[in-house]
Amino acid sequence: MNKVIITILSIIVLMISILVGIQVFKTQNNNVTEHQIAQISEEIEDDCTEEWKELYEQNTMNLQVNTQENIRLSPNCSFTFQTHYTGCGHTSRKYMNIPQQLVNKTEEELQELYNEWKIKTFTTNEVILEKEETGECGEHYVLRDVDGKIVIYVIKDGKEEEYEKTEISTDYLTETDKITMKDGLKVIRKRELKSSH
């Protein structure tokens, strides 16, 4: 009987030892895992913080570029005034250097001063302003034969106004041109449409 009891006790002790052993191993393992997780998450958090900072700085920069708060006009800036005339479909462009009082102005300040113009381009060195107008561009001319000389008329609001009397004799024109000239030869000064007077 004693032998049996001892054997059973030994088995129980062995089983307990094994169970305790497993338990201890599990606990240690868990500790390691938890510790590792804690470390990794710390690293991730750091990375995120860095990235977030970068993103934040980038966004701030983008915002500045978008609102162009920091862009100011340089003394070398060129100005282009573009007017589109719905009457004839032509666009006249006038170029000029920056007026002195506009140097260092921001887009917002420029818009306040030129409130009837739409700012199409705004950079330190180039400004393009545009607007739309009804009627014709004012660059439509008619050549007529007046007493044998060519006279140039400009069309304003649909009416002809004398623009220039030339000394060019219509005698040198061909018969076809003479006939055309009698009805008035319409021309557009295209070069003028692209540059200032």
Binding site for Zn ion (CB under 5 A): 88, 90, 136-137
Provide the minimum distance between the beta carbon of 115 and Zn ion in the complex, in angstroms, as a whole number: 25
154: part of which helix (H) or strand (E)?
strand 149-156
Give strand pairing partners of 149: 146, 169
- Return d(Cα 154, Cα 61) in angstroms, integer: 52
The residue (of 88 and 142) whose beta carbon lies closer to Zn ion is 88
Which tokens belong to 53?
């900072």
User: At its nearest, how many Å lie between Zn ion and the CB of residue 188?
Assistant: 6
State the minimum distance, in angstroms, from the CB of residue 133 to Zn ion.
Answer: 11
Q: What's the CA gap between 89 and 193, in Å, rounded?
A: 12
The least distance separating Zn ion from the CB of residue 150, rounded to whole angstroms, comes to 21
Q: Which is nearer to Zn ion, 136 or 145 (CB)?
A: 136
The answer to whether 143 and 163 are in contact (CB under 8 A) is: no
Q: Which is nearer to Zn ion, 91 or 111 (CB)?
A: 91
Distant-in-sequence, close-in-space partners of 190: CB < 8 Å, separation ≥ 6: 139
The amino acid that residue 168 corresponds to is I
